[in-house]
Amino acid sequence: MADCLFCRIVAGEVPATIVAETADTIAFRDINPQAPVHVLVIPREHHTDIAALAAADPGLAGRLCADAAAVAKGEGVGGAFRLVFNTGAEVGQSVFHVHCHVLGGRPFTWPPG
Ligand code: AMP
């Protein structure tokens, strides 16, 4: 999608600090990190959110999660990390191309705020 920020990162039109790539996904550092490790993992293909992706292509949704876990391991936090898919503006989604936040490197509370 021409007007999607993350599609433009996939296309190389917007710079990003890429930490991992597969045939299906790319992982890059969040521009406004909330933890020592804060990486976004996205499918190359445009889907609005995790619910839309899981409905359209459950296999790709699974690979996205597996790739997110691999990123956590590669970042040295594979034993303790948080994956977040904000889904809907009301809960904080601001970019409507599905992305998995991989967060780690500090303690997290539960429940989240
Ligand atoms: P969300 O609020 O769940 O939709 O998350 C969107 C995330 O994208 C936020 O954590 C932003 O800091 C991050 N973000 C926005 N623009 C960029 C960018 N150009 N490069 C990397 N991360 C970005």
pLDDT of 91 above 90:
yes
Structure tokens at 96: 């409507």
Residue nearest to atom 15 of ligand 1 (CA): 31
Range of the domain at 89: 5-104
Give the pLDDT of residue 112.
85
Check the CA dihedral 18-20-26-32 and report its sign. negative
Residue 35 in domain: yes
Average pLDDT over the chain, rounded to an integer: 97
Our CA angle for 9, 54, 28, nearest 5°, is 25
Q: Ligand 1: which atom is nearest the Cα of residue 9?
A: 19
- Name the percent of the chain lying above pLDDT 90: 96
- CATH number of residue 9's parent domain: 3.30.428.10
Average pLDDT over residues 74-102: 97
Residue 64 in domain: yes
pLDDT of 23 above 90:
yes
Residue 60 in domain: yes
Tally of domains within the chain: 1
Q: Which residues are part of the catalytic machinery? A: 99
Residue 42 in domain: yes
Structure tokens at 61: 């949704």
Closest CA to 100 of 46, 64, 74: 64
